Amino acid sequence: MNANMKDTTERAGHCLCGDVRITANSASNSVGACHCKTCRRWGGGPFMEIDCGASVEIDGKENISVFDSSDWAERGFCRNCGTHLFYRLKESGQHMIPVGVFEDSESLVFESQVFIDEKPDYYEFTNKTKDLTGAEIFALFGSS
Ligand SMILES: [Zn+2]
Ligand SMILES: [Zn+2]
């Protein structure tokens, strides 16, 4: 999802109530935003996330509900406090984790926006980012 996959940091975070703790061993330093309708319905606004790959340790898994949001991905949240914990690709196990879940924001750079064509007109980020439409995303990562 981003050009700086090697530029990673170990990051730790937790949900609001503390029932779920997450350690991402190689989290990207590149923050992305997704403006798609599904993400905005899920979180009430654009999904600000970092790519944490498949190497994610979760303490308190039994407190997570996982919602099957599409043929290719699922979304996890704390069943006690409702904090959104991950968007996970079923096949690769890749986790996109909401950046706000993590303790600190050191080294993070907001670099990309996807489904820019689904962004409503009532908000706009001023950061200089690489922006992709939904069609461009599907072309990059396969249409299924
Ligand atoms: Zn919680
Ligand atoms: Zn989305």
Residue 59 falls in which region: left (phi positive, over 0), alpha (psi -120 to 50) or beta: beta
C-alpha 86 – ligand 2 centre gap (Å): 12
DSSP 102: B
Cβ partners under 8 Å of residue 30, min gap 6: 2, 3, 4, 7, 50, 51, 108, 109, 111, 112
C-alpha 130 – ligand 2 centre gap (Å): 16
Contact predicate 107/9, CB 8 Å: yes
Identify which ligand lies nearest to the alpha carbon of 17.
Answer: 1
C-alpha 86 – ligand 1 centre gap (Å): 13
Query: Would you state the pLDDT for residue 93?
Result: 96
Candidates 69, 47, 58, 73; CA nearest to 14 is 58
Identify which ligand lies nearest to the alpha carbon of 81.
Answer: 1
What's the distance, CA 1 to chain centroid?
A: 10
* DSSP H/E element including 30: strand 30-34
Amino acid identity of residue 114, one-letter, is: V
C-alpha 48 – ligand 2 centre gap (Å): 9
Contact predicate 109/31, CB 8 Å: yes
C-alpha 62 – ligand 1 centre gap (Å): 11
Place of tokens 């690489």: 130
Q: Per-residue pLDDT tens for 6-46?
A: 589 999 999 999 999 999 999 999 999 999 999 999 999 99
Query: Would you state the pLDDT for residue 126?
Result: 97
Q: Per-residue pLDDT tens for 53-98?
A: 999 999 999 999 999 999 999 999 999 999 999 999 999 999 999 9
C-alpha 54 – ligand 2 centre gap (Å): 19
